[in-house]
């Protein structure tokens, strides 16, 4: 996958894992959990995931509150513009990572 002059490699694993384990594995492979920066990147990843839900490389800032950061240091604007209605809602005070939900008929 290519994006805005930067080469990006998307490695997909089907082993279920939590966000922090996924990020640790990506770091071992020399990268980060994928943080799409455009609709075309998001669609390409979703197609490759066969429309299953998957982690994206955004997490709550260590400062807490409603501040978010991409693990690769890229801008968060695109992903934050894609929040579902009422999200993030910090259910049970434990929502610190972001998952792309494959909802048929939505973009």
Tens of pLDDT along 67-103? Answer: 899 999 999 999 898 888 888 888 777 788 888 886 6
Q: H-helix or E-strand containing 40?
A: helix 39-48
Beta partners for residue 24, in sequence order? none
Three-class secondary structure of residue 9 per DSSP:
coil
Check residue 106 and give its pLDDT: 54
Instruction: Indicate whether 59 pLDDT > 90.
Output: yes
Q: H-helix or E-strand containing 57?
A: strand 54-60
Give me the mean pLDDT over the 13-21 stretch.
87
**pTM of whole model > 0.85?**
no
- How far apart (Å, rounded) are the C-alpha atoms in residues 18 and 16? 7
Instruction: Indicate whether 105 pLDDT > 60.
Output: no
């Amino acid at each position: 996958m290519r994006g805005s002059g930067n080469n990006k490699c998307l490695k997909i694993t089907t082993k279920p894992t939590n966000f922090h384990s996924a990020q640790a594995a990506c770091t071992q492979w020399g990268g980060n959990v994928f943080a799409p920066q455009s609709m075309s990147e998001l669609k390409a990843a979703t197609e490759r995931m066969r429309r299953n839900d998957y982690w994206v490389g955004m997490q709550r800032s260590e400062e807490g509150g409603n501040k978010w950061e991409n693990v690769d240091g890229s801008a968060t604007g695109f992903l934050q513009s894609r929040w579902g209605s009422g999200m993030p809602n910090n259910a049970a005070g434990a929502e610190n990572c972001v998952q792309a939900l494959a909802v048929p008929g939505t973009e």
